[in-house]
Structure 1
Amino acid sequence: MKNNTMELIISGRRQRRRRWVVVTALLAILALALCCAMLLLGNTIYPLGDVIRVLSGEQIKGATFAIHTIRLPRMLAGLFAGFAFGMAGYIFQTMLRNPLANPNVIGITSGSSAAAVFCITVIHANGAVVSIASVIAGLATVALIYALSKGRTFSIGRLILVGIGIQAMLDAVISYLLLVSSQQDIPTALRWLSGSLNGSKMDELPPLIIAVLVLSPFIIVLGKHLGLLELGEQSATSLGVATDKTRVVLILCSVGMIALATATTGPIAFVSFLSGPIAKRLAGSGFSNAIPAGLVGVNLVLAADLIGQFAFEVRYPVGIITGILGAPYLIYLLIRMNRKGEL
């Protein structure tokens, strides 16, 4: 009887692992296809051979400028920002055991956005200054939310409510900055707020790329503890997890990535909110879905950008398309949680 039970457990684990591997591979293939589409499509559609030759360093009149200066930075910004938003959103939702606990809803991206808008409209800075300010503001926002929500004991519900309040306050600050800023600064600031890949430049991408490449491994390694953290503070501690250290490292890594992603593309709406649930639905449970969630984020951003560019007569920023996709899901989630008595 014991042997049969062990065989069933092992078989189930193998099936879950196989499903995870297959889904992750398919998401990676889809992301690669979308990356290729970002390089091929535009006002002029270039054949794949020309794209490969340009990326190899060969000069082709017209194609070199379009691919190197416009399409490649746009694709890389969507790739790394989407991965950062998706992975960070999954970490917050899983660690705090609540689908509403993502950086968009609890004010973290608003903190980064407020810092970016301040730099643009008040001190007229750009590039590295904006990125540094966004990261610092994101970390400061997290520290403030955590401090205000901690009380005698840590409360997830209190953290979400405090985060929503901080977000409202920061949104008011952003509105005020836009109201008093000069006319020439408003278009640049609005680009941050809507979330857009337009105007992405290669020299602005290294901080985001480095952050994703350096911080993602920490999240992936610590991802095995997320399932234990979902069981609750006492259960995770009894199973040998250093909950405070694990939570701090995961939060710092996630905030670092999402702040730099926000500094690069603006707060692309609902990507961090949608990626985790979609990844869990596709890949199943039993293993950390940090990588699938990151890949879902990549696919959402790149697909939404292609839709915004080519599906309508007017070109829309990627954040508007993801907002259209995410808003109905948020309403559905709130209704479902209210029926279950979770709100």
Structure 2
Amino acid sequence: MSILKVRLRAGHVLRIDARTAVVCAVLAVLSLAVVLAALCYGSGWDRPGDVLAALRGEGPIRVSVTQWRMPRVVAALVFGAALGLAGAIFQNLTRNPLGAPDIIGLDAGAYTGVLLVFSLTVASEATITLAAIGGGLGAALVVYLLSAGGGFSGLRLIVIGIGIQAVLTAVNSWIILRSDLDIAISASVWQAGSLNGLDWVDIDAPVTVIVALSGLLVVLARPLHQAALGDELAVTSGITLPRLRILLVLIGVGLSATVTAVAGPIVFIALSAPQIGRRLAAAAGVPLLPAALTGAFLLTGSDLIAQSLLAPTMLPVGVVTTGVGGLYLLWLLTKEIRR
């Protein structure tokens, strides 16, 4: 494996896997290309030169690009990266490619919290976000307690998580059926997972939260990868596993629940992005940066497809990610069964 060595000040050397660096660079370029295409797409297709002029504050489509299209594109990039990081966290912790928030019930728990806010109180941005995070943490606690006998990793936790996901899905359906008609309609539309209609005001706070959590995750990246290699190796390297796991679960739930609170449960990005990034980078574990960049690329591309597939009708992006992710899940389950 070729390693790039970057010499820093004070004699420190930063080692970077060459293939991972190339993969990240390619994913970043592809994401920027999709971003440009998304900024060009409105009621029709605008020329890239006009879009670049609008980003400089010039031209007749300046308002359309900077106030209408740009918030949606930024949301797709940041939310996709957040979901990719959340999936990477739980796949490293469980040491299983099925360990993702939308598979083991955490997204369903976040959705339950939001539904309770819709049904019982006056919904606001703060209450929805807190309810989503609380619901996700509650689901994570239940899954952990029920699987504690088998440890935090392995197939036991995944199977229990899938069971909790099914139970919470039934609970969510019951809450919707018992709600008033206007609340039920709003909750059903929101459940699909959509970036439609997002404005700068809608994404300012969530983006800030995601950036803060991502920064904390960078600090914990090395112990996370050491813990993914095995409990014995992590303990011998001086890592306090219980505290590390609690912090990582809080970060992972915070990332996925923040996205859920704003856009609804966007499924399969957290499941597929880390594994696609890992395979592209040919890494032993689940690297964080390729997972984040893959998630950003997948969600931005899926949202562009959702806008243009049945134009002028804009589909929720969750419809596209469900279709693509369902095929990926079938392939992954088939591979796991054969193993």
| Stretch of structure 1 that moved more, 204-213 or 307-316 | 307-316
Aligned residue number for residue 10 of structure 2: none
Give deviations 1:293-330, integer Å, cap 9, x for gaps.
11111111111111122134554221111111111221
Show the counterpart of 2:12.
none
The 1-side partners of 2:152 and 2:47 are apart by 56
C-alpha distance in structure 1 between counterparts of 2:241 and 2:87, whole Å: 19
The residue matched to 1:205 in structure 2 has which SS? Answer: helix
Q: Is the 8 A contact 1:109 1:259 kept in 2?
A: yes
Counterpart for residue 80 of structure 2: 82
Q: Is the 8 A contact 1:278 1:296 kept in 2?
A: yes
Matched, 1:210 2:208: yes
Whether the aligned pair in 1 keeps the contact of 2:114 and 2:131 (CA below 8 Å) is: yes
Aligned length in residues: 328
Partner of 2:42: 42
Q: Report the CA distance between 1:254 and its aligned residue.
A: 1.3
- Deviation per CA, 1:20-49: give whole Å up to 9, x if none: 111111111111222222221110433344
Paired AA for residue 33 in structure 1? A
Q: Normalised by the size of structure 1, how large is the TM-score? A: 0.87
- The aligned counterpart of 1:18 is 18
- Is the Cα contact below 8 Å between 1:122 and 1:181 reproduced in 2? no
**Structure 2: gaps of 5 or more residues:** 6-15
Residue 191 and residue 200 in structure 1: after superposition, are their counterparts in 2 closer, same or farther (change >3 A)? Answer: farther
Letter in 2 for 1:51: V
Deviation for aligned residue 1:258: 0.9
Change (3 A) 1:65 1:214: same
Q: Which residue of 1 aligns with 2:323?
A: 324
Match of 1:334 in 2: 333
Whole-angstrom CA distance in 1 between matches of 2:50 and 2:4:
43
Q: CA shift at 1:174, angstroms?
A: 1.2
In structure 2, what is the equivalent of residue 164 of structure 1? 162
Aligned equivalent of 1:262? 260
Name the Cα RMSD after superposition.
2.3
Superposed, 1:264-303 pairs within 5 Å as: 264-285=262-283, 289-303=287-301
In the TM superposition, what are the counterparts of 1:1-343 in structure 2 within 5 Å?
Answer: 12-14=2-4, 17-57=17-57, 63-151=61-149, 153-154=151-152, 156-285=154-283, 289-312=287-310, 315-340=314-339
Counterpart-to-counterpart distance in 2, 1:136 and 1:56: 41
TM-score in terms of structure 2 length: 0.88
Cα deviation code 1:206-225 (max 9, x no counterpart): 22211221111222232223
Contact map agreement 1:113 1:267 (CA 8 A) in 2: yes
Cα displacement (A) at 1:193: 1.4
> What is the alpha-carbon distance in structure 1 between the residues aligned to residue 325 and residue 259 of structure 2?
19
Verify the 8 A CA contact 2:226 2:234 in the aligned structure 1: yes
**CA deviation profile, 1:258-292 (whole Å, cap 9, x unmatched):** 11011111111100000011001111215862011
Q: Tell me the SS of whatever aligns to 2:332.
A: helix
Cα separation, 2, equivalents of 1:153 and 1:82: 29
Alpha-carbon distance in 2 for matches of 1:205, 1:20: 30
Q: In 2, distance between residues paired with 1:188 and 1:298? A: 27
Q: Confirm or deny: 8 A CA contact 2:235 2:241 kept in the other structure.
A: yes
Cα offset, 1:126, TM superposition: 3.5
In the alignment, what sits opposite 2:13? Answer: none
